[in-house]
Structure 1
């Protein structure tokens, strides 16, 4: 993994493009889809027509589900509070095939308001949309996030 998630700065993003699921760990600025970003390789609007070029450019930030799971396991003892765990929760879901962006970004940056024309953007829980085999936080049938929540609220 090239970057580790960092609360509200480096995000875990689930992507569907050409019927393929992928995880990316990137800077948050990439995911304001309809806003020209200096660091988005000259791509003014990130949509289904520009996604292929974009993903070629950020290939190094693509992360295997197993790598995310292993990172959670490796860092478990290092988490000092549930706030540390929040960094590892998926923040954004972008489906380029269906033209939707769902955000669970916890800060007052509303990614869902920055979608291209013809897209749907919403602040909503998208975890049920993640294919079961891609849910890196489910370890041996148990939600890592739920287990850590119970640990820190006790």
Structure 2
């Protein structure tokens, strides 16, 4: 998102482990960025507005057009292997090392407060969300393998920052 580096804040940010072109990286970003199919997300918001009896004008005023909506994620409608390079370039400032995460985890007031919530493997088209995470798998691109599961064993050993 540019500017100042984000720090993990429960409910606001997410710690996502990403495998792309056989290289693993951690990112701490806004949660919504990882709802990978923004068309599906936009449509779900639209459906919710209809169910709540809100009109089209209210929806467009509050959420915006689809073009405006995807501008919040660098104009990338579907985050997948084809768009990952551009997306990861845009969030490069949000990359965080395992060492930084381990330091934060050690200093956290609550044991286990700093935990990975998402594993995205662009190479293998896989998205795994921790049981505590919101339903990111609902917004995975078509053809992706998704699960709500403990994915920590998939993380390279040298990148495991938790205790």
Tell me if TM exceeds 0.5: yes
The residue that corresponds to 2:26 in the other structure is 23
**Does structure 1 residue 102 correspond to structure 2 residue 128?**
yes
Contact in 1 for aligned 2:22/2:123 (Cα 8 Å): yes
The DSSP-based 3-state class of the residue aligned with 1:30 is helix
Contact in 2 for aligned 1:92/1:105 (Cα 8 Å): no
The DSSP-based 3-state class of the residue aligned with 1:128 is helix
- The match for 2:99 among 66, 82, 85 is 66
Of structures 1 and 2, the one scoring higher in RCO (CA 8 A, sep 6+) is 2
Q: Give the gaps of 5 or more residues in structure 1.
A: 138-142, 144-154
- Please show how residues 1-154 of structure 1 align to structure 2 within 5 Å: 2-36=5-39, 37-73=70-106, 75-76=107-108, 79=109, 81-82=110-111, 85-86=112-113, 88-104=114-130, 106-107=132-133, 109-137=134-162, 143=163
Contact in 1 for aligned 2:131/2:150 (Cα 8 Å): no
Q: Give the gaps of 5 or more residues in structure 2.
A: 40-69
User: Which has the higher mean CA deviation after the structures are superposed, 46-55 or 30-39?
Assistant: 30-39
The DSSP-based 3-state class of the residue aligned with 1:69 is helix
Instruction: Report the TM-score when normalising by structure 2.
Output: 0.74
Contact in 1 for aligned 2:131/2:149 (Cα 8 Å): no
Contact in 2 for aligned 1:35/1:45 (Cα 8 Å): yes
CA displacement 1:121-152 (0-9 Å, x = unmatched): 11111000011100012xxxxx2xxxxxxxxx
Contact in 2 for aligned 1:114/1:121 (Cα 8 Å): no
- Note the C-alpha offset of 1:120: 1.1
Contact in 1 for aligned 2:19/2:123 (Cα 8 Å): yes
Instruction: Report the TM-score when normalising by structure 1.
Output: 0.79
- Note the C-alpha offset of 1:71: 2.1
Q: Which has the larger radius of gyration?
A: 2
RMSD: 1.6
